[in-house]
Amino acid sequence: MTRFGPPLFALALCALPGCGGKGSGPPPTVAKETAEAEVTRISHRWTSTQVDKALLSPPSPISVRAQTRVSEITFGQGSAEERLVIEEQFELRSGATIRCRTRFEHGLVVRFGRKSGDAAVELTRPALQAGRSCDGPPPEATLLEPERRALLVLQSDQLIAVEPALDERIYRPVSE
């Protein structure tokens, strides 16, 4: 039975591949994916649907207003476009019901970055104004949308609004 002493054992270990000596240098650096690439790798088109219902008090001629907002964002190279469709149903105090639909298509100011390590995108939409298209005389002829800024963070495969705090939009990828 042969016994290896410490110097012979150390020499035997250094003869194994990968142990010190001349190598090809440090391992290659792995490139980190940009926030824009991470978001658009999942999809270039994202959609969000929000439903809202409100009871209005007199003297408003409207007693109940129901609204569905469908936003679809399409990302290009460093840019974004939004198609926003707002469908409304007004129940009037007179008993009549009026349905309206308003459609906007516009560019967005977009900035990609990271928030707490997660890919994020800041979107700024301009102020919008359009006449409502209704099946009867609308109680309010014009729909006004103020300028809106939001910060969306990529979590799993969803873009979730985190700023402003009360923004409840969640965008899901659209299959392409």
The per-residue pLDDT for range 77-109, each reduced to its tens digit, is 889 999 999 999 999 999 999 999 999 999 999
| pLDDT of res. 6 | 54
| pLDDT of res. 116 | 95
Q: Is residue 26 part of a domain?
A: no
Q: Is residue 129 part of a domain?
A: yes
| pLDDT of res. 157 | 95
Phi, psi of 77 (to 5 degrees): -75, 100
Question: Which stretches of the chain drop beneath a pLDDT of 50?
Answer: 1-2, 4, 8-14
Q: Is residue 154 part of a domain?
A: yes
Domain count for the chain: 1
| pLDDT of res. 7 | 53
Q: Is residue 22 part of a domain?
A: no
| pLDDT of res. 5 | 53
Q: Is residue 61 part of a domain?
A: yes
Q: Where are the alpha helices (DSSP H) in the chain?
A: 6-14, 35-42
Q: Is residue 10 part of a domain?
A: no
Q: Is residue 155 part of a domain?
A: yes
Residues belonging to the chain? 176
Three-class SS state of 68: strand
pTM exceeds 0.95 for this model = no
| pLDDT of res. 13 | 47
**b or e along 124-161 (b: 16 or more beta carbons within 10 Å of the residue's beta carbon)?**
ebeebeeebebeeebbeeebebeeeebbbbbeeeebbb
| pLDDT of res. 9 | 47
Q: Is residue 73 part of a domain?
A: yes
Expressed as residue numbers, the domain containing 85 is: 33-173
